[in-house]
Structures are given as structure tokens and as C-alpha cells.
Amino acid sequence: MFGRRPSAEDDTVVAVLAAALRRDISFGVLRPDQKLKIEALRQNYGGSNHSMRETLRMLSAEGLVEATAQRGFRVTSATEDDLRDILLMRLEIERLGLRMAMQQGDVPWEGRVMASHHALRHIEETVSQSVDDATALDWDIACRTFAATLVEAAHSPRLTGMQLKFYDQSRRFRLALLREGRLDFAIRARQQQALLEAVLARDTEAALTALEAYVTADLGC
């Protein structure tokens, strides 16, 4: 027997559901280790049994949801050990990606790095004054874009996919720091500027050092 082939409409529904669950996991609406029951999720988010199950499988592959032995799902844990492990993987992947990007990146890539840095600085000036859910999401998108742009010139889809996977796994920790007022935006501005200047100067070792300082501080480590 052949399985049902997903339609473009199915894919769209799953993408919308996944975005909603990612957001609520990141903001703690769906708590670490919380059991995720299909019917309850459908009542809150919509979709069919099939689309919700596919959504949970997608988030499981991303490391945000975990399949349990009883064939159910739960939100992954968010302990200090989890944070340290995510930090380890982020640093290894982003260092490799940045090194490759600086070897292969062209002037248009430098322009995109500058633009993403400018956008991040702009939103950080806003959230340093006040934060609500909308500005927190804008800030998170700007942080994600800056990190992704730094490694995009590595021209390795698998590397950039892994970078985004572990970046998204760190999202809960980063948003918690923001909402709890535990980020020093003056220090972040200096770290981001040092990273940008090293990239534009094509000083690889300085860039890697600046990247490690920035990512470590970004996760409150």
C-alpha cells in the first residue's frame, strides 16, 4: 500500500501550524516537558489529525518536540545542560560556517551582513526601551537573520540548515533573557560591531573570537 501524497495545501497548513507552535514553545506558552496531545492542539491551533501529527514530526526533527516511548509527543526540556549542549553545537557550526564564508564571500555578501547588522541594531534600540510580544518577535527575527547571513556565503545548504536548527533550539533561552531584562544591550552593541568590523576586514581569527563572545553572551552563558 502506498501512503497518501501530501498536497501543496497540506504543506501550507503544516507550515502555518509549525510556525504557531514554534512561537508558543519559544515564549513558554507550551512549557518544557509539557505533553502535547493531538486533540487538544487541534482545538487551540486548528488543522486535522494528520496535519497536526505531521507538524509535530517536523518540530521533532528540529529538536523542539520529542516523541515519547508511548508514541506521544512532548516539548523538549530546557535545562542548563540543554543550553550548554546547544551552545556547543551552535559555536562549532557557526565558527565553521563563518570561516568558510570569509574565504568565499563576495562584496554583495558583505553588503548583506552590513544590512542585517543595521536592522539588528535598529530593533535592539527599540527593545532596550520596552518589550512586548510583537517587538520580541521582530528582535528574534533580526537576530536570526544576522546569524544566518554571517554563514550564508559558506554555500553549504547542510551547514546552514544545521546552523538554523540549533539557532532555533536556542530561541527559548534567548527570548527568556530578553523578557526578563537580563541582556546588556550596550555590551551586545560592542560585540556585534567588533564582529562586523572583523568580517569586513577579512580578519578571520578576530572574527571567530568575536563570534564566540557574541554567541556565548547571546545565550547568557
Number of domains, the chain: 2
**90 in a structural domain:** yes
pTM recorded for the entire structure = 0.86
**133 in a structural domain:** yes
Whether 49 and 85 share a structural domain: no
Q: What is the CATH number of the domain that holds 26?
A: 1.10.10.10
Beta pairing, strands 73-75 & 65-67: antiparallel
Whether 90 and 195 share a structural domain: yes
Q: Which residues pair with 65 in a beta bridge?
A: 75
Q: What is the pLDDT of residues 52-79, one digit of tens each?
A: 999 999 999 999 999 987 778 999 999 9
Per the structure, the complete domain to which residue 51 belongs is given by 8-75
Whether 18 and 85 share a structural domain: no
Q: What is the pLDDT of residue 8?
A: 60
Q: What is the pLDDT of residue 72?
A: 87
Q: What is the CATH number of the domain that holds 156?
A: 1.20.120.530
- Using the 3D structure, point to which of 75, 92, 125 is the last residue of a domain: 75
Q: What is the pLDDT of residue 49?
A: 92
* Contact residues for 93 (Cβ-Cβ < 8 A; gap 6+): 151, 159, 162, 163, 166
- Using the 3D structure, point to which of 75, 104, 134 is the last residue of a domain: 75
Cα dihedral sign, 111-207-158-165: negative
Whether 60 and 166 share a structural domain: no
**3 in a structural domain:** no
Q: Per-residue pLDDT for the chain (221 aa), expressed as one digit of tens each?
A: 344 545 565 778 999 999 999 999 989 899 999 999 999 999 999 999 999 999 999 999 999 999 987 778 999 999 999 999 999 999 999 999 999 999 999 999 999 999 999 999 999 999 999 999 899 999 999 999 999 999 999 999 999 999 999 999 999 999 999 989 999 999 999 999 999 999 999 999 999 999 999 999 888 77
Whether 68 and 105 share a structural domain: no
Q: Which stretches of 70-205 are assigned E, i.e. beta strand?
A: 73-75
Q: What is the pLDDT of residues 77-90, one digit of tens each?
A: 999 999 999 999 99
Question: Minimal CA–CA distance to 162: which of 86, 93, 66?
Answer: 93
* Contact residues for 117 (Cβ-Cβ < 8 A; gap 6+): 146, 192, 196
Question: Minimal CA–CA distance to 160: which of 109, 106, 90, 104?
Answer: 90
- Using the 3D structure, point to which of 75, 106, 128 is the last residue of a domain: 75
Whether 35 and 142 share a structural domain: no
